[in-house]
């Protein structure tokens, strides 16, 4: 498989594994119109059912500790428009930081499966990067303090954003 396609597929699977570990459902919408993954909680108590939409981008980084304040992600204008503003279903941009080489994406043993490296999230609900004229692309910073974990996914479903996190 071509490296960029492999990388993108791994990024979506990485987030899907986190959702599964959190005990949540996830699905890939077909056709893909700008949302890569839906994550949802269907509860016996329907009053706490929830869903979020995710646009997932990947970036090769040799060492996640070198990220500094955040990860810069370039979005096409049409992808950006799917994420901005207050939406009926909250949407988030997820940046998955992956190893340089696909051979280093995972390590498996009889005791564990380790996925390398990490994922981060940002909400663009408040349109922090307004589009201008015929602008075709937008650079968005995904804060490195917004680590995507099973607890963070639950908080995104419950509140739209974990407490104390950067939007």
**Annotated domain spans of the chain:** 3-159
Enter the tokens of residue 47: 């009053």
Separation between Cα atoms, residue 157 and residue 49, nearest integer Å: 9
pLDDT by residue (tens digit) across 25-38? Answer: 999 999 988 899 99
The β-bridge partners of 159 are none
Enter the tokens of residue 75: 């979005």
pLDDT by residue (tens digit) across 61-104? Answer: 877 777 788 999 999 998 998 899 888 999 999 999 999 999 99
Residue 138: helix, strand or coil by DSSP?
Answer: strand
Q: What is the pTM of this model?
A: 0.91
Based on DSSP, count helices (H) and strands (E) in the chain, helices before strands.
3, 9
Domain 3-159 has CATH 3.90.1150.10: no
């Amino acid at each position: 498989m071509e490296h960029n396609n492999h990388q993108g597929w791994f990024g979506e699977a990485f987030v899907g594994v986190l959702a599964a570990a959190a005990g949540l459902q996830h699905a890939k919408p077909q056709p893909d119109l700008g949302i890569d993954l839906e994550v949802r909680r269907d509860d016996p108590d329907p009053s706490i059912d929830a869903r979020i939409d995710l646009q997932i981008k990947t970036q090769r980084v040799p060492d996640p500790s070198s990220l500094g304040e955040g990860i810069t992600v370039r979005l096409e204008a049409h992808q950006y428009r799917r994420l901005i503003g207050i939406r009926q279903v909250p949407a988030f941009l997820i940046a998955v930081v992956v190893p340089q080489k696909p051979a280093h994406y995972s390590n498996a043993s009889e005791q564990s499966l380790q996925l390398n490296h990490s994922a981060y999230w940002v909400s663009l609900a408040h349109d922090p990067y307004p589009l201008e004229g015929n602008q075709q692309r937008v650079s968005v910073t995904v804060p490195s303090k917004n680590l995507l974990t099973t607890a963070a996914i639950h908080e995104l479903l419950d509140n739209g954003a974990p407490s104390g996190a950067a939007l």
